[in-house]
Chain A
């Protein structure tokens, strides 16, 4: 099976063509968000330079987030368009899964963190055991302090990956024992990693529905936002 995979949930605009055994080509730009300008040219260049035709593609993989709302819309609508136009199926995979997959075979907890602004992160916890990536929490949007609280009592190595690392590295080092960070070449969303996970789903016959598939716009629960607002008002009094 040949697939085309794209991820534009973060600052990285990344696109890859994979088959069951190999990454045949991948282009990634991780500099300034300009997905709407560069995503289609990247896809075009991948096809041109590999000599693969879009009709050779059996299925598509897109990121379902969480991440930049705008980026998610660009990525998912691009893949939906390609899927509808070619009549080939697509599946969505979380960028958090794909970032965790960047650190395959890492011991302990793998914790991707994406900057969700206002000192919040999009995150989930993973372990890699029996050659499989296992997600052990929900996809959540929490403050970095809450995340530190959750991780504080875990008695194992914790490896962080994602664009939240640059922002919170020092804080994580200061507040948690045994923390590790992905090297920069693995510390970004890669369409190849997303595609690998998507390929596994596709080969099991798992597809997304063209009309029903939506990104995960992970926002804090309404109650929590109201509580924060109340706290802020109290502070101002």
Chain B
């Protein structure tokens, strides 16, 4: 699945739809450069999960926890130097739980990411314009088929 968006609001709304559809144990990897909208998408997912808390980027806390329709673990592993580091905080206990996990910069810890994940890649499409973003969603596990319901 691929979407092209031109506003933060569109990114947020895609997230919101994902959040309304996700199931317990889902693992969502967000991959993309700074400023592509990963955190905005995560905020949308949180909203879609019925989370009212203000969602901020966990760049410094590594993981933030929220409770909505389901529990949400929001990771940002940008500052993690080595997969070992994040494994040592008990990463597995988070991602193999009943919660939904969002992992920004998941490509930094590729070896720890289980294959049954939803990978969302976000990139700027500068040739179309400054605000254009391409959002690509990939998965192998049928559990994420709900992605097909997303519309912009």
Contacts and interface: CB of A to CB of B under 8 A. Distances in A.
Contact of A222 (B84, B93, B96, B114): B84
B141 interface: no
Interface in A31-76: 68-70
B90 interface: yes
Interface residues of B, number: 10
Contacts of B84: 222
A185 interface: no
Nearest to A115: B96
B111 A217 contact: no
A11 B14 CA distance: 36
Contact of B93 (A70, A219, A229): A70
Interface residues of A, number: 12
A204 interface: no
A43 to B, nearest CB: 23
Given A70-B93, A117-B92, 19 more contacts: A68-B90, A68-B93, A69-B88, A69-B89, A69-B90, A69-B93, A70-B90, A116-B92, A117-B93, A117-B96, A118-B92, A118-B96, A118-B114, A217-B88, A219-B87, A222-B84, A225-B111, A229-B111, A232-B111
22 contacts: A68-B90, A68-B93, A69-B88, A69-B89, A69-B90, A69-B93, A70-B90, A70-B93, A116-B92, A117-B92, A117-B93, A117-B96, A118-B92, A118-B96, A118-B114, A217-B88, A219-B87, A219-B88, A222-B84, A225-B111, A229-B111, A232-B111
Interface of B: 84, 87-90, 92-93, 96, 111, 114
